Amino acid sequence: MAIIGKDGYTGFSSKNYEKNKSFRLTDIELVKEDLRNHIFTRQGERVKMATFGTRIPDLPFEQLDDMTLEVVREDLTKVFSYDPRVSLRELQVIPLYEESAILAIADLNFIYLNFSDQLDIRIDFQK
């Protein structure tokens, strides 16, 4: 859960506690973590929120083709539109055929922070 206060967003995550020795996340770091959580939540996985999430967690078992690239583009655009803290400036979905992966690069504007930054999402496919 994120809260915006006079100093920006604050929240917590136990994901990198060993590395950071803190549960606290702030500002852009927190928003990016929330976006990643949304992206890698299977659609229909959240109780009473059937449309929340994406099809992306199931893609590594599919073919790396144009249809898959379009699913990634559509679902990422939906996630960025859903979150009121960001607006999508540009989205690149790049197939890495040699590595059996997709790299998505989102150029985001963090609205309340008046700051732009990039979020990279890598999706690895099974060979």
Pure H helices in 83-121: none
Percent of the chain's residues with pLDDT above 70: 79
Do 3 and 9 form a contact (C-beta atoms < 8 A)? yes
91: amino acid identity, one letter = L
Q: Categorize the per-residue pLDDT at 64 as very low, low, confident or very high, splitting at 50, 70 and 90.
A: very high
Do 104 and 83 form a contact (C-beta atoms < 8 A)? no
Do 76 and 91 form a contact (C-beta atoms < 8 A)? yes
| pLDDT, tens only, 76-98 | 999 999 999 999 999 999 999 99
pLDDT of residue 19: 53
109: amino acid identity, one letter = N
Within 8 A by CB and 6+ apart from 14, the residues are 23
Q: Categorize the per-residue pLDDT at 119 as very low, low, confident or very high, splitting at 50, 70 and 90.
A: very high
Q: What CATH topology corresponds to 3-124? A: Nuclear Transport Factor 2; Chain: A, (3.10.450)
| pLDDT, tens only, 40-62 | 999 999 888 888 999 999 999 99
